[in-house]
């Protein structure tokens, strides 16, 4: 297949190696015979979203996030329509907050999100920093990552990570984390998240195929180093989580 990705704000929203999510996803899809092109969208530029196969935004500082949001709001209806239609998306780190109803910054200023989800984000001075280990209802394997956030997110009805054994979730320590809806995957976890979590990478690939009315092949190329890194991270974080119970 010929697939087209849209990468929002690669300059503004690029913390924590976020671009690695897009690069790895592109490589894996090309390795099974697809052609992937990436359209980069910067503030003020046009974006063709109606036939995009995947939408992506990486993490940024709170200041960069606000600048991105001021531009991204103009795409609100198109993003909501794409989410309802099952278009695959990944929003990482602070980009997740743009999908909600509103963002309140540390000074109390309130900004509208694009409303894909019903949740609200409130930023403060306290930061939640550390490794995260949890479970998702999307597949049996764990989810691992790193959290560096100053935000409490309330009102998420369908979290990406349903249970944490270690780390801060959307609203509380060891609570559910992230957001998902149809083909939308969003999380404050960095690392980057798809590089750290091969099972999640495959779920995103499957969502891209599903939106095209196709099924992801059951047999995929093997990437031993990626799988070994995941196994080690799961083992070490599971042990640390058990020690802190």
Beta bridge partners of 117: none
- Identify the CA nearest to 142 among candidates 243, 234, 240, 239: 234
CA distance 185 to 192: 13
pLDDT digits (tens, 9 = 90+) for 153-166: 999 999 999 999 99
Low pLDDT (below 50) residues in the chain = none
pTM: 0.96
- Identify the CA nearest to 201 among candidates 158, 154, 118, 143: 143
Residue with tokens 């995103």: 204
CA distance 114 to 240: 37
For the chain, domains (ranges, CATH) are 2-243 (3.40.50.880)
Torsion angles phi and psi, residue 60, rounded to 5: -150, 170
Residue with tokens 């992801």: 216
pLDDT for the residue numbered 105: 96
């Amino acid at each position: 297949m010929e697939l087209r990705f849209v990468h929002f704000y690669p300059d503004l929203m690029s913390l924590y190696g976020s671009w690695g999510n897009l690069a790895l996803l592109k490589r894996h899809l090309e390795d099974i015979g697809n052609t992937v092109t990436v359209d980069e969208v910067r503030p003020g530029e046009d974006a063709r979203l109606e036939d995009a196969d995947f939408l992506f935004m990486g993490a940024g500082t709170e200041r960069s996030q606000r600048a991105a949001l001021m531009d991204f709001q103009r795409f609100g209806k198109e993003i909501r329509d794409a989410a309802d239609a099952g278009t695959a998306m990944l929003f990482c780190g602070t980009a997740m907050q743009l999908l909600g109803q509103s963002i309140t910054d540390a000074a109390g200023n309130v900004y509208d999100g694009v409303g894909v989800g019903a949740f609200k984000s409130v930023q403060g001075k306290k930061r939640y920093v550390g490794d995260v280990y949890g479970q998702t209802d999307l597949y049996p394997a764990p989810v691992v990552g790193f959290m560096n956030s100053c935000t409490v997110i309330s009102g998420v009805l369908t979290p990406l990570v349903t249970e944490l054994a270690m780390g801060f979730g959307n609203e509380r320590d060891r609570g559910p984390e992230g957001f998902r809806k149809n083909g939308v995957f969003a999380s404050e976890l960095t690392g980057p998240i798809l590089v750290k979590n091969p099972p999640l990478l495959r779920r995103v690939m499957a969502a891209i195929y599903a939106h095209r009315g196709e099924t992801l092949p059951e047999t995929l190329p093997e990437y031993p180093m990626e799988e070994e890194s995941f196994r080690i991270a799961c083992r070490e974080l599971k042990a640390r989580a058990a020690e802190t119970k």
